[in-house]
A and B are shown apart, each in its own frame.
Chain A
C-alpha cells in the first residue's frame, strides 16, 4: 500500500511564499492498496490537482472517504475532474449526522449560492454510503471507521492491506478533558483506529502555547500528537493538518519540538508536505 499527499493544510487553504515547502492545499490523500484501487481520503482543495494528474487514466471506480464535512475537507470536491466524467463511478463514504444522511449533507455544498450547480447535475455516477458500524472492504482493503473527538460527526479511518495498516486522524483532539498519560489507552479517542499502525497521519495543528488558548476547538497540540502516537505504538507518525497561520519555518520549529518528545533515537516522525509519498511497509 502506498499513499501520496495532495493537501495537508488544516482549516483553510493558504497558498503563498511562506507555505511553499509544505503546501497550502487542504486535506487530501491518495491511497493505492496492492490491488491499485484508487481510494481518496478527504476532498480538500488538494483533490483538484489529483484529478488533473489522473487525466484520462482515471479509473472507472473511485472511492472517496470523508473524515467529516467541515468545509476544508469537502471544498475541493466540485473541482475533482472525474466528477465531470459520466463514465466514472464515484463512491462517497462518510459520517452521517443524527438528522441528515451523507447525501443530504453533501447536497448542501452542491447548491446555490455555495456552488453554481446542484448535486443532481453532476455527470458522474455518485453512490453515497453512510459509514457502516462494522468493518467493510473496498477491493481487497479492509476498512474501519471510529467516531473521534472533534466538533461535529467526525471519524478516523484504519485501512489494512496485506497486513499493513494506514491510519488517518486528520482532525482530532484526544486530550480534551483528560491527561492522555493518566488513562488506559482503551479510554483514548482514536486509539482503536491508530493502534499499532504502520503509518499514522494525525492532526498537529497547534503548538503547546497555542493549544492553551484553543482547548475544545477539536485539534491537537504537537505534544498531544506525539503522546498519542507513542500511546498507540505507531511505527511512523506524519504530522498533518497544519495550521493556516503556520509558515514553513514555524512548522520546522514544531518538528524540532516534536522530535524532542518523540525521542531523537527513534525514527519515523515527519511533517506532511504536498507531494510526499509514503510506502506503508
Chain B
C-alpha cells in the first residue's frame, strides 16, 4: 500500500475539520476523499461512495449549467484544475445520490507540493440560490 502524498493527507485533515464541503482528488484525478459537508450536498457519504476515477465522478452527479443543459466534464472546475492546473470557479446544478437537485457554486484549485510537484486538486463548494 502506497502512502498518499503529504499534501493530500494534510488537505484531508483540513477537510475533516471543515463544515464547508470539500472534494479531494489525486494527480490522476481519482477522487480520494470528500468530507461530511460534501456528503450532505452529494447525498451519500464517502464511505458509501469510495474512491472513483475521474470519468466516473465527473458524470455521477449529472452536472448541469445554470441554464439546465448538461455540463461537459471538461467544463467542471475540478477537471479544469486537474488538466490545466489553474484555479477555476463556476455555478452549476447537480442531482445528488438522494435524488435532490441542488444549485452549487464550486471553486477548485490545483495542489503543488515541494518543487512544484503536482499532487492533485481540491474543490470547495456550497449551495447557492
> Interface with A: B8-16, B56-64, B65-73, which one?
B8-16
Chain B 40-83 interface 0/1 with A at a Cβ cutoff of 8 Å (1 = within): 00000000000000000000000000000000000000000000
> Interface with A: B86-94, B100-108, B112-120, which one?
B112-120
Q: Does A176 sit at the interface, judged by CB under 8 A?
A: yes
A-B interface contact total, Cβ < 8 Å: 50
Chain B 16-40 interface 0/1 with A at a Cβ cutoff of 8 Å (1 = within): 1100000000000000000000000
Additional A-B contact list (17), CB under 8 Å, known A147-B5, A149-B10: A96-B115, A131-B114, A133-B115, A133-B117, A147-B7, A176-B13, A177-B13, A177-B16, A178-B13, A185-B3, A186-B2, A189-B3, A189-B6, A190-B3, A191-B3, A192-B3, A195-B1
Q: How far is the CB of A69 from chain B (nearest CB, A)?
A: 14
A188 cross-chain contacts in B, Cβ below 8 A = 3, 9
Contact residues of A: prevailing secondary structure: loop
Contact residues of B: prevailing secondary structure: helix
* Residue of A96, A153, A186 touching B4 (CB-CB under 8 A): A186
A191 cross-chain contacts in B, Cβ below 8 A = 3
Q: Once bound together, how far apart are the Cα atoms of A191 and B3, in whole Å? A: 6
Q: Once bound together, how far apart are the Cα atoms of A147 and B4, in whole Å? A: 11
Q: Once bound together, how far apart are the Cα atoms of A184 and B1, in whole Å? A: 9
Q: Does A95 sit at the interface, judged by CB under 8 A?
A: yes
A146 cross-chain contacts in B, Cβ below 8 A = 3, 6
User: Which residues of chain A (146-167) have a CB below 8 Å from chain B?
Assistant: 146-149, 153
Q: Does A115 sit at the interface, judged by CB under 8 A?
A: no
Q: How far is the CB of A220 from chain B (nearest CB, A)?
A: 15
Q: Does A187 sit at the interface, judged by CB under 8 A?
A: yes
User: Which residues of chain A (163-202) have a CB below 8 Å from chain B?
Assistant: 176-178, 184-192, 195
**A and B contact pairs by CB, cutoff 8 A, 16 listed:** A96-B115, A130-B115, A133-B114, A133-B115, A147-B6, A149-B6, A153-B114, A178-B13, A178-B16, A186-B3, A188-B3, A188-B9, A189-B3, A189-B6, A192-B3, A195-B1
Q: Once bound together, how far apart are the Cα atoms of A191 and B24, in whole Å? A: 20
**Which of B2, B9, B14, B113 has the most A CB atoms < 10 Å from its CB?**
B9
